């Protein structure tokens, strides 16, 4: 999907229609559309022909694109979860996998990438017994967390409400939150690839009043940051540079308002102590 998005950006930058691009590789405009949406596989010859049509002639860049095409043709791990994941979220995961850095602001919950299994299970299931589809969604969320193990760079800012909101009811919720807070503390202490900050209630109104968002950054290719906004029934993937830059500025402002990573660790430790004393 990342490769398809790059092809689309090159095509539109050159003012070439899908029909003309399709003619170049002996295909239809609809196939170009499917390629750009990541819904079909990529042939190295087609990629090379399209890039030349779009004015890309640098041999090193062409080689990188061919390698990316081979990688894109491999089935993603998320495919094994079948229909359990929403189509819009499957598209997002493809972009997330390819990103060099993930930046998140979350106002309501601990982000999925940082959730313990117990916390994730409660959020996804809503406290009821899980069926097969729900169980697959839980396992997919845990699978995404392998980013942490691989050392992918993350910068995550949480509103204080996201870490104080109890999940799982009164008694069981204490155990869930105790485990979740301990997990966040371990991340602060042990994960050099993750920067975690909390925006305290005392800050008041701040730069992300509109709600949660995710920014994906790519350093190896000429691709702008991608903004992801999740809603109740769908999610938006936005690649307009001006929009992504506006959210990047909001993230920077949030980082200034938020507690420092060391202060964040101290806040989490205090929250855990308070929970233990209840």
* 126-182: pLDDT as tens digits: 877 778 888 999 999 999 998 767 788 999 999 999 999 999 887 789 999 999 999
In this prediction, residue 123 has a pLDDT band, given cuts at 50, 70 and 90, of very high
Does the pLDDT value for residue 242 go beyond 70? Answer: yes
Most confident of 32-41, 48-57, 74-83, 265-274: 265-274
Residue 221 has pLDDT above 70, yes or no: no
Element (H, E) at 255: helix 241-257
Kindly state the greatest CA–CA separation across the chain: 70
pLDDT at 206: 75
Asked whether the predicted pLDDT for residue 215 surpasses 80, the reply is yes
Helix (H, G, I), strand (E, B), or coil: what is residue 32? Answer: helix
Helix 171-190 to helix 117-125 angle (10° resolution) is 130
**pTM, entire model:** 0.77
Nearest CA-CA partner of 120 in 102, 105, 139: 139
């Amino acid at each position: 999907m990342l490769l398809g998005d790059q092809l689309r950006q090159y095509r539109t930058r050159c003012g070439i229609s899908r029909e003309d691009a399709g003619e170049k590789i002996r295909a239809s405009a609809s196939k170009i559309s499917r390629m750009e949406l990541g819904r079909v596989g990529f042939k190295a010859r087609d990629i090379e022909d399209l890039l030349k049509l779009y004015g890309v002639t640098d041999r090193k860049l062409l080689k990188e694109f061919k390698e990316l095409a081979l990688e894109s043709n491999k089935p993603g791990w998320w495919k094994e979860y079948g229909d359990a994941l929403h189509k819009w979220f499957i598209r997002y995961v493809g972009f997330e996998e390819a990103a060099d850095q993930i930046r998140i602001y979350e106002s309501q919950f601990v982000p999925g990438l940082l959730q313990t299994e117990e916390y994730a299970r409660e959020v996804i299931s809503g406290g009821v017994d899980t069926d097969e589809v729900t169980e697959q969604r839980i396992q997919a969320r845990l699978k995404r967390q392998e980013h942490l193990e691989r050392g992918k760079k993350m910068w995550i800012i949480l509103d204080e409400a996201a870490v104080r909101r109890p999940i799982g009811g009164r008694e069981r919720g204490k155990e869930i939150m105790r485990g979740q807070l301990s997990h966040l503390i371990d991340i602060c202490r042990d994960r050099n690839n993750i920067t975690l900050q909390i925006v305290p209630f005392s800050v008041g109104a701040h730069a992300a009043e509109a709600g949660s968002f995710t920014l994906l950054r790519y350093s190896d290719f000429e691709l702008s940051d991608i903004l992801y906004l999740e809603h109740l029934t769908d999610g938006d993937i936005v690649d307009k540079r001006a929009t992504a830059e506006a959210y990047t500025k909001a993230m920077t402002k949030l980082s200034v308002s938020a507690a420092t990573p060391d202060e964040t660790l101290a806040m989490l430790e205090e929250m855990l102590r308070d929970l233990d004393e209840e």
